[in-house]
């Protein structure tokens, strides 16, 4: 046995098993002994949600000059002439009468140059046709609009909009949508989906919900599993993130839009002062600071703070409202201010919630909860026991069939032990990488046990030459032949699992992931060691 313990393949095998035991050993915690294994919704209990991303990809067919004629004509009630100069990337707009810079700013062109020309006013806008179209769509739809691509010209509208509403809007400027699905397709771009998923991941993890799965389907839907969370809490947590907006009160209960959450570039941790009042410091972008200053001055918030409160909204729900601080109001009269503090009073928990909303709450698009469900903790515990029993029965049944075939305990014991060790190593990898084990993943474990037994039987049959162990070169040749068959079978299994893994969501991915991992562990670690161990045992019997 000294020779076999020096074999590098056997050394690697036993080192991997020992490391797996160290990883899986239960550790004391507040709730008693806990392993590092993470269980999914099926086995832990919790809730699941289906979210729909509200948005559309559109291909408008419209002349930017007609857009500007309508925008400026309606704003000033006077004839308008528009000229496009491609060489300088500028639009020159001539309006009868006098026009102020503030009036042009209100149309969404803050960088425009306003020049009096006799009885008329000339306005120069340094923008492209795409910029004009984006501005028109954003201001008309009150939504974030992103340019997607030039061939054909496409835009992403990040809000709930219908084809009919868009066609009615474009008809006002002599435009329309491209015919068919190309002109209007429900959904958003992959970049927006990825951005939404990442923000949800970060927000949920920041709330302490690390055991979550966020999956994307068809660029329209997001599926979320929240292990250990009730469906009511899940809807409250996940349904809350949306479009973050800052508004300023104008008159009575009315307010005007100032900026979206995308203009908040940094948020610091909540802090309290000596009086016990808590606040959340945040920083605006330069463009956001200018927009905030302009809105504060135009509404009169800098002079009459108490009648013009600043409010923060998440998916149109009010989450904060307060008047400008006196020193901030005075500073805004002079220059834009990027650094601000949202004071919430003595409630530290409210300050922490506002911090989360400011930092991670602004999704690029609105989401709608279209489905939900729940798995109780008791049912999850029952599933866990049933899977454990199924796994033990699978190993016992495999051991019985192996014993029935060979009738040699010296073969049965290492074969079953090797198969069990593969399960240990797979669970250790899952714990190390924080994989969630759900029913599909554990079904993959049982499948790997079955295929592993098949491969070990192939090795054993090849080594038993006419019922006895071959010697010398014949032994090595047969071991090589067995591994040729095993490697081909393993490659076939992995290739078969790759399409399921590539789908990227649901039980398919969990099943494929654990199956691929199990096959690789088997062919790279467990089965080479078994071939050496069983060969040595048979040689001792032969002698």
Give CA separation, 16 vs 6, 145, 411, 423, 535, in Å. Answer: 15, 53, 22, 12, 21
Give the per-residue pLDDT at 444: 82
Give CA separation, 7 vs 4, 14, 528, in Å. Answer: 5, 11, 10
- Domain 2-45+376-542 in CATH: superfamily? Multidrug efflux transporter AcrB transmembrane domain (1.20.1640.10)
Bond prior to 316 in cis (omega within 30° of 0): no
Give the per-residue pLDDT at 143: 79
Which residues fall within 8 angstroms of residue 282, CB to CB, at 6 or more apart? 264, 266, 267, 268, 339, 340, 341, 342, 358
DSSP 14-57: HHHHHHHHHHHS-EEETTEEE-S-EE-HHHH-EEEEEEEE--EE
Give the per-residue pLDDT at 356: 67
Return the bridge partners of 264, or none: 284
The SS3 assignment for 445 reads helix
Rounded distance, CA 441 to CA 501, Å? 12
Give the per-residue pLDDT at 360: 59
Domain ranges of the chain: 2-45+376-542, 57-186, 244-343
Give the per-residue pLDDT at 60: 92
Q: Is the dihedral of CA 501, 503, 504, 507 positive or negative?
A: negative
Give the per-residue pLDDT at 170: 92
Question: Do residues 157 and 141 lie in contact, with contact meaning Cβ atoms separated by under 8 Å?
Answer: yes
Query: Residue 422 belongs to what H/E stretch?
Result: helix 409-432
Rounded distance, CA 283 to CA 268, Å? 9
Q: Among 383, 460, 380, 381, which residue's Cα sits nearest to residue 419?
A: 460
Tens-place pLDDT, residues 70-90: 888 888 887 788 888 888 888
Please state which of the four CATH numbers 3.40.718.10, 3.30.1360.200, 3.40.50.12780, 3.40.50.300 is assigned to the domain occupying 244-343.
3.30.1360.200
Question: Do residues 361 and 241 lie in contact, with contact meaning Cβ atoms separated by under 8 Å?
Answer: yes
Strands (E), 399-438: 436-437
According to DSSP, the β-strands at 80-85 and 212-217 are unpaired
Q: Environment class of residue 178 by beta-carbon count within 10 Å: exposed (0-12), middle (13-18) or buried (19+)? A: middle
Rounded distance, CA 511 to CA 295, Å? 54
Which residues fall within 8 angstroms of residue 155, CB to CB, at 6 or more apart? 57, 58, 59, 60, 133, 134, 137, 145, 146, 147, 148
The SS3 assignment for 466 reads coil
> Interior CA angle at 327 toward 321 and 332, to 5°?
80
Rounded distance, CA 509 to CA 501, Å? 4
Question: Do residues 262 and 331 lie in contact, with contact meaning Cβ atoms separated by under 8 Å?
Answer: no
The SS3 assignment for 495 reads helix
Tens-place pLDDT, residues 337-396: 888 888 888 887 778 777 767 765 556 777 777 877 776 655 556 767 777 787 778 778
Q: In the block, which residue shows the tokens 């709330």? A: 207
First to last CA, the chain: 14
Question: Do residues 358 and 288 lie in contact, with contact meaning Cβ atoms separated by under 8 Å?
Answer: no
Rounded distance, CA 237 to CA 231, Å? 10
Residues of the chain with confidence (pLDDT) below 50: 241
Q: In the block, which residue shows the tokens 């984006």? A: 134
Rounded distance, CA 221 to CA 368, Å? 9
Q: Is the dihedral of CA 480, 485, 486, 492 positive or negative?
A: positive
On the CB side of 514, CA atoms within 13 Å amount to: 29
Q: Is the dihedral of CA 520, 524, 530, 531 positive or negative?
A: positive
Give the per-residue pLDDT at 184: 92
Tens-place pLDDT, residues 130-164: 988 988 998 888 778 888 988 889 999 988 889 99
Burial 440-469 (b: 16+ CB within 10 A, else e): bbbbbbbbbbebbbebbbbbbebbbeeeeb
Return the bridge partners of 217, or none: 221
According to DSSP, the β-strands at 264-267 and 278-284 are antiparallel
Strands (E), 183-294: 184-186, 212-217, 221-227, 244-249, 255-260, 264-267, 271-272, 278-284
């Amino acid at each position: 046995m000294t020779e076999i313990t020096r074999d590098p393949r056997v050394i690697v095998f036993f080192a991997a098993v020992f490391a797996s035991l160290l990883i899986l050993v239960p550790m004391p915690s507040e709730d008693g002994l806990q392993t590092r294994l993470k269980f999914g919704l099926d086995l832990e209990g919790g809730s699941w949600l289906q979210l729909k991303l509200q948005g559309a990809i559109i291909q408008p067919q419209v002349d930017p000059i007609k857009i500007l004629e309508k925008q400026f004509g309606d704003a000033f009630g006077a004839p308008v002439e528009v000229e496009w100069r491609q060489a300088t990337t500028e639009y020159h707009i001539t309006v009868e009468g006098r026009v102020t810079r503030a009036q042009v700013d209100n149309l969404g062109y803050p960088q425009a140059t306003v020049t009096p020309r006799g009885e008329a006013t000339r306005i120069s806008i340094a923008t492209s046709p795409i910029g004009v179209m984006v501005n028109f769509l954003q201001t008309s739809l009150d939504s974030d609009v992103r340019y997607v691509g030039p061939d054909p010209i496409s835009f992403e509208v990040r809000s709930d909009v219908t084809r009919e509403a868009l066609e009615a809007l474009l008809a006002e400027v002599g435009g329309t949508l491209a015919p068919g699905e190309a002109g209007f397709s429900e959904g958003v771009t992959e970049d927006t989906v990825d951005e939404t998923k990442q923000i949800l991941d970060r927000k949920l993890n920041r709330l302490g919900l690390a055991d979550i799965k966020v999956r994307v389907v068809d660029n329209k839907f997001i599926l979320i599993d929240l292990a250990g969370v009730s469906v009511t809490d899940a809807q409250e947590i996940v349904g809350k993130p949306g479009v973050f907006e800052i508004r300023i009160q104008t008159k009575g209960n009315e307010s005007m839009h100032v900026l979206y959450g995308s203009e908040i570039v940094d948020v610091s941790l909540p802090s309290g002062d000596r009086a016990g009042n808590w606040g959340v410091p945040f920083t605006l972008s330069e463009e956001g600071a200018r927009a905030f200053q302009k809105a504060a001055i135009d509404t009169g918030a800098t002079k009459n703070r108490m009648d013009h409160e600043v409010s923060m909204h998440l998916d149109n729900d009010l989450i904060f409202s307060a008047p400008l601080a006196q020193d901030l109001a005075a500073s805004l009269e002079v220059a834009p201010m990027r650094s601000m503090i949202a004071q919430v009073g003595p409630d530290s928990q409210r300050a922490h919630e506002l911090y989360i909303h400011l930092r991670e709450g602004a999704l690029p698009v609105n989401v709608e909860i279209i489905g939900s469900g729940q798995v109780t903790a008791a049912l999850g515990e029952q599933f866990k026991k049933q899977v454990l029993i199924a796994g033990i029965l699978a190993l016992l049944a495999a051991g019985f069939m192996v014993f029935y075939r060979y009738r040699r305990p010296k073969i049965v014991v290492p074969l079953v032990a090797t198969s069990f060790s593969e399960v240990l190593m797979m669970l250790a990898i899952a714990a190390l990488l924080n994989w969630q084990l759900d029913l599909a993943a554990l079904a993959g474990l049982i499948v790997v046990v079955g295929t592993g037994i098949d491969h070990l039987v192939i090795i054993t049959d090849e080594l038993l030459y006419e019922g006895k162990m071959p010697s010398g070169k014949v032994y090595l040749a047969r071991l090589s032949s067995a591994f040729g068959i095993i490697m081909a079978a393993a490659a076939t299994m992995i290739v078969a699992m790759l399409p399921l893994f590539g789908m990227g969501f649901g039980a398919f991915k969990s099943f494929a992931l654990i199956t691929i991992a199990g096959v690789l562990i088997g062919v790279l670690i467990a089965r080479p060691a078994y071939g050496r161990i069983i060969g040595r045992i048979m040689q001792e019997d032969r002698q």
